[in-house]
Structure 1
């Protein structure tokens, strides 16, 4: 489990905040939407796992270490 700035949860929060023209501190906390530790564990230990969820009006897709957003 990684809680550093290179973690998937951090990347999710950063990308969503940028899409909303905010800082990560100004958007809803990620842990209220999805368990950040589980997200990190699932996506870092198995490259075939695809996680998809809604966060701040965006569809977030995490697969093979990449985070993409769709409106």
Structure 2
């Protein structure tokens, strides 16, 4: 991301807003997974659930970066 590509940013912006809502869902899942792992530490599925939730929370940034990379200039 060394050079500025405003067209890629503008094209990716609506998709980033959709990803933002998914990241909010990921945050809720992460909080629930954390609470479940505190209540029952033997639940191994909560670790995978938390990892998926963190990747959902990083999704808006990944979407914007992907669009910026795809625009040549």
* TM-score between the two structures when normalised by the length of structure 1: 0.31
Compare CA radii of gyration and give the structure with the larger one.
2
* TM-score between the two structures when normalised by the length of structure 2: 0.31
